[in-house]
Chain A
Amino acid sequence: MLPHWLILLVSFGYLGLLFAIAYYGDKRADTRRSIISNPYIYTFSIAVYCTGWTFYGSVGRAATHGVGFLPIYLGPALAATVWWLVLRKIIRLSKANHITSIADFLASRFGKSSVIGGLVTLIAVIGILPYIALQLKAISASFSVLFHDHARSAAEQSLGHDTALYVALILAVFAILFGTRHLDVTERHEGMVAAVAFESIVKLVAFTAVGAFVSWAMFDGPADLFRKAAQVPETARLMGLEWSGSDYISWAALTFVSMAAIMFLPRQFQILVVENVNEDHIRTAAWLFPLYLLAINLFVLPIAIGGLLVFGPGAADADMFVLTLPLRGGRELLALFAFIGGLSAATGMVIVETISLSTMVCNDLLVPFLLRLKVLRREGIARTLIEIRRGSILLILLLGYLYFRLIGESYALVSIGLISFVAAAQFAPAILLGIYWKGASRRGVLAGLTGGFLVWVYTLLLPSFARSGWLAQSFIEPGPFGVSALGPYHLFGLVGFDPITHAAFWTLLCNVGLLVGVSLFGQQGGLEQLQAALFVDVYRERAAEAGEARLWHGTTLVRDLKELVARMLGAARAEQILGAYAVQHGVELREELVADEKLVAFAERELARAVGAASARVMVSSIIEGEALSIEGLMKVLDETSQAIEYSRRLEEKSRQLEEATRELQRTNERLTELDRMKDDFVSTVSHELRTPLSSIRAFSEILQDDPDMDPQQRQRLSAIVVQETERLTRLVDQIMDFTKIEAGSYEWARDRLDLVAVVNEALEATSQLASNRDMRVTREVPGDPVPTIGDRDRILQVVINLLSNAIKYCEPGAGRVHLRLTRSATAAWLAVEDNGPGIRPEERERIFEKFHQIRSATKGKPHGAGLGLAICKAIIEGHGGRIWVESRTGGGSRFIFTLPARGAQAESAAPDERIRPA
């Protein structure tokens, strides 16, 4: 029997050692030579997962369920495989947003909502109380065992309760000393992490030592132990697997709940995410942590079976085999070491858990509340915040103690812990959907968490009160008001599951269902959408930058901002960080200036480090005037998402444009070649046309010159020819000049009011000689009323004459028929000249209106004219806002049509489908 003073001395000595380690860790951190910045310390600190529950409770569960204790550790081992994906994303997000706790994380994701933060905090505190109670129970029970061996009387149990109270108080002091030295929570509790990592090593070594002692000293190795166990029915049962279907379902459910717990228990989130120094440490932790779990569980079954064999089934509290076996073996020092191991496990958990919960209570529950009351809007509240945190640590531990007093004795350790696991699992849907699905909305999470939590209270928490006699037993069986369908362990008649599986099913069903359902049928606010985009797309760096810079849109003075930061963090610290900001960005922060968006966002982030995102937002908006959320900033971030799509769309468009340009170029090139050819043709034609009259003029002039004795009649005839040829030459040159003028756009159109009927009549008269020369009939069809329009009379007359003379020229003499028809519509006048000539080949129809284009007559081979007539017509008609075109069939005659806007109507051409139909 160990002397009591020795047990107490060792216990306090050990706690003192932990404190020394923590103190050293903090000192190193202050001088920027971190001792926890390595993946192994990180991994060992994660092992805070293994609490007093693991240390004592696993053995207890193994003694009744065999391997049934393992899912609680297999779940984390499975979850660790995807830490590199999931955890890394959460860490990245938390660092970018200065997240201080799981409540802060969810509040931040869902639009910096203080309601979400408060709800998560509430769930966490209530959900974790059983777990803290469990640690107190483990420590006090282990004290009792060590003090009095395992024989306990009622009187000693009450001493056990008192022990638990002392333990709670001591742990509270310890957690306060560790956790609330600084206000800034993201500036990590390096000392605490170092101490926790050390504790993890101690508990592993202690447990393994006991396991080895039981296996090899009390038995002849594990094989001997298992062989002996096989001979006793009660222990043989534990090694087999006589399971029914519902056992497999329990197994799967426990595995699943534990997968969630390893990441979303507040203390795990604290260690895994908030205290993480470097996200690359996950690379090691993802495989080393499962190995740690494996090692610490290796001897659970041997100790449980050994205990059952040594003490006999049901003879002793299986939860305490770790202590009672070494005591039975006469190794009191080993028992003391095991006790220290258990103490490590329990204290580590309590310290980290209370620190993280107190942060949440302070930042996400009390600060938003106090801000509304305007209590915190005065100087020096940094001090107040620390006091609040210290107070909450004490309060949480006392509540844990209360829970322990209420129900502590009516449960085995494992069952208490699992109640908390199911509560922590409620955070999993919100976080996982939150970081992968932008659609998850604030209302959805609010509904999901509330629903899941209420079902949890009903199916697990209230029954735990009932079991300890604080509620009527009939609440559990048959159910409230005697209604079996409402029974908290078989809700709506769902039977066949153990309470934990049953609760896990209903809570998560309700949670996920409400979260998804409400999100799908609701609307998200602007800030909410922004945060969703920032969280889901955290790896897009540009999105993050845009989000940081552009969130605030109102105005505030630098002075107000400085005051706010100083109020929260202290004047010296405010001066320091704002000074650093000014240096880094190369700006001068004059107090009377208006703070820009970047500075405001920076100040908000700094405040968030201290009081969490939601509270920081409330504080900053209290001094901002005007619209708080910048729509441009919002749009910019949201746009980032569609940027990739935009890129590829633009590329496609570019390549389409390029193809189009290539085709256009090809066409242009062909046209240029054609134009070049036409120019050559034109030059030769014009030269020819000019030369013919010139030659005759010259020839006849020479004759006149050489033969002065020519008879006057002959001379008269020859000079008439010279004059005629000269006139022809003049006309040709005039035509070319006209055309170039019109083409160049410098021609001044006269704007006369004119009657097209009169123009037509004049044109017919002018061409009547030509027609009768060729023995052709020209008919007309004109309206009785005038067809008024506005334009250059001479030019339009020229067009009509040109069309008529073309028609006459191209028809066979004698057989030719030319028909002119003038009609009018509301907006336009139409004139058509139809002939029964050879017609125009389709490929020529567009081009005959081009300058210098000459129709090569099929019969004569040689073109008529210079190829400018129709080009001039086209230029004139288009210059008047009309249109000209030809309809023709090869061998079937052609019809030239032009339209001119009717009088008053502005330059508007007729639609193509309004063409004149043949009569």
Chain B
Amino acid sequence: MSAPVPSPSDQSRRGGATTGRRRTEERLIALLVAGAVALNFPLLSVFRGREPVAGIPALFLYLFLVWLFLAAGTAFILRMRTPRPKGPPDGAGPEKP
């Protein structure tokens, strides 16, 4: 028995942080998959020969909206859980894994 067995409180704390970080990562990956699907065949073919919306070609508009959604989604996911760090300006981020 050379290595100490972590105490229960230590484990549960670590477990909590892991779940939160995992969840953020899962959300980001889901967003990537959603974006990749939205920006490829067959969804794009839906816009073949569509009438312009407010004078803007429908496909053009759709692509930029998805784009906007990707940026907004990433911002939302990355900012929703952990508040902006007040930590040191240099070095590692607040989420020490």
Q: Which residues of A contact B (CB under 8 A)?
A: 37, 67, 70, 74, 77-82, 84-85, 88, 92, 221-224, 226-227, 230, 239-243, 245, 248, 251-252, 255, 277-280, 283, 286-288, 290-291, 293-294, 298, 301, 539, 643, 646-647, 650-651, 654
Q: Is the CB of A77 within 8 A of B71?
A: yes
Considering the complex, give the chain B residue whose CB is closest to the CB of A643.
B3
Question: Which of chain A's residues have a CB closer than 8 A to the CB of B20?
Answer: none
Contact residues in A for B64 (Cβ distance below 8 Å): 294, 298
- Top 5 nearest A-B pairs (CB, nearest first) are A223-B55, A280-B93, A287-B75, A248-B41, A239-B57
| A280-B60 contact, Cβ under 8 Å, with A78-B35, A241-B44, A286-B78 | no
Contact B40 A222 (CB under 8 A): no
| Cβ contact within 8 Å between A279 and B92 | yes
* Set of chain A residues within 8 Å of B72, measured between Cβ atoms: 287
> Is the beta-carbon distance between B93 and A278 smaller than 8 angstroms?
yes
* Residue in contact with B89 in the complex, picked from A37, A287, A643, CB distance below 8 Å: A37
**Which range contains the number of B residues in contact with the other chain?**
35 or more
Instruction: Say which residue of A239, A283, A290 sits within 8 Å of B67 (CB atoms).
Output: A290
In the complex, chain A residues whose CB is within 8 Å of the CB of B56: 222-223, 226
Q: A74-B63, A78-B39 are in contact. Are A226 and B70 (CB under 8 A)?
A: no
Q: A280-B85, A280-B94 are in contact. List 12 more A-B contacts (CB 8 A).
A: A77-B71, A80-B70, A81-B32, A84-B24, A221-B55, A224-B55, A241-B49, A243-B45, A278-B92, A283-B79, A293-B67, A651-B5
Q: Please tell me if the beta carbons of B29 and A539 are within 8 angstroms of each other in the complex.
A: no
Q: Are B32 and A241 neighbours in the complex by a CB distance under 8 Å?
A: no
Q: Which of B48-94 contact A (CB under 8 A)?
A: 48-49, 52, 54-57, 59-60, 63-64, 67-68, 70-75, 78-79, 85, 87, 89-94
Bound CA span A242–B54, Å: 21
Q: A252–B41 contact, CB under 8 A?
A: yes
Asked whether, in the complex, the Cβ of B89 is within 8 Å of the Cβ of A278, the reply is yes
Contact check, B36 vs A78: say whether CB atoms are below 8 A apart.
yes
Contact of B39 among A74, A79, A278, A279 (CB under 8 A): A74
- Residues of B1-51 at the interface with A, using a CB-CB cut-off of 8 Å, are 1, 3, 5-6, 24-25, 28-29, 31-32, 35-36, 39-41, 44-45, 47-49
B86 to chain A, nearest CB (A): 11
* Chain A residues near B6 (CB-CB < 8 A): 647
B89 to chain A, nearest CB (A): 6
Residues of B within 8 A of A239 (CB): 52, 57, 59-60
- A85 and B28: CB pair below 8 A? yes
Rounded to whole angstroms, the CA-CA distance of A248 and B44 in the bound complex is: 9
B44: which A residues are within 8 A, CB to CB? 241, 243, 248, 251
- For the complex, give the distance between the alpha carbons of A576 and B92 in Å: 25
Is B49 within 8 A of A240, CB to CB? yes
**Assembly CA distance A688 to B87 (angstroms):** 86
Alpha-carbon distance between A362 and B75 when the two chains are bound, in angstroms: 39
CB neighbours (8 Å) of B1 from chain A are 650
Instruction: Report which of B60, B71, B85, B93 forms a contact with A294, defined as CB distance below 8 A.
Output: B71
- Tell me which of B36, B41, B71 contacts A287 (CB under 8 A): B71
In whole angstroms, how far apart are the Cα atoms of A239 and B41 in the complex? Answer: 17
Which of A227, A241, A301, A539 has its CB near the most chain B CB atoms (within 10 A)? A241
Chain B residues contacting A81 (CB-CB under 8 Å) are 28, 31-32, 35, 70, 73-74
* Closest partner residue, chain B, to A239 (CB atom): B57
Given contacts A74-B39, A294-B64, contact A647 B28 (CB under 8 A): no
In the assembly, what is the distance between CA of A901 and CA of B57, in Å?
Answer: 103
Q: In the complex, which residue of chain A has the Cβ closest to the Cβ of B79?
A: A283
A301 to chain B, nearest CB (A): 6
Residues on A with C-beta less than 8 A from B47 are 241
Contact B45 A241 (CB under 8 A): yes
CB distance from A42 to the nearest CB of B (A): 12
**Bound form: Cα–Cα A654–B3 in Å:** 14
Most buried by A among B54, B73, B74: B74
CA distance A715 to B41 in the complex (A): 128
The interface centre, meaning the residue of A81, A255, A643 with most chain B CB atoms within 10 A of its CB, is A81
Residue contacts A-B, CB under 8 angstroms, 12 given: A67-B59, A82-B29, A84-B78, A223-B55, A241-B47, A241-B48, A242-B48, A283-B78, A287-B78, A294-B64, A294-B68, A651-B5
A84 adjacent to B25 (CB under 8 Å): yes
From known contacts A223-B55, A226-B55, A243-B48, infer whether A290 and B74 are also in contact, taking CB-CB under 8 Å. yes
Contact residues in A for B63 (Cβ distance below 8 Å):
67, 70, 74
A296 to chain B: closest CB distance in Å? 12
B90 x A85 contact (CB < 8 A) = no
Asked if A78 contacts B85 (CB within 8 A), the reply is no
Minimal Cβ-Cβ distance residue in B for A247: B41
B16 nearest CB across to chain A (Å): 16
A243 cross-chain contacts in B, Cβ below 8 A: 44-45, 48
Task: Give chain B residues whose Cβ lies under 8 Å from the Cβ of A77.
Answer: 35, 67, 70-71
Rounded to whole Å, the gap between the CB of B69 and the closest CB of chain A is 10
Closest B residue to A281 by beta carbon equals B93
Contacts of B31 in A (CB 8 A): 81
Partner of B40, one of A92, A251, A278, A279: A251
- Contact of A80 with B67 in the complex, beta carbons under 8 Å: no
**Contact, CB under 8 Å: A646 / B60:** no
In whole angstroms, how far apart are the Cα atoms of A286 and B94 in the complex? 17
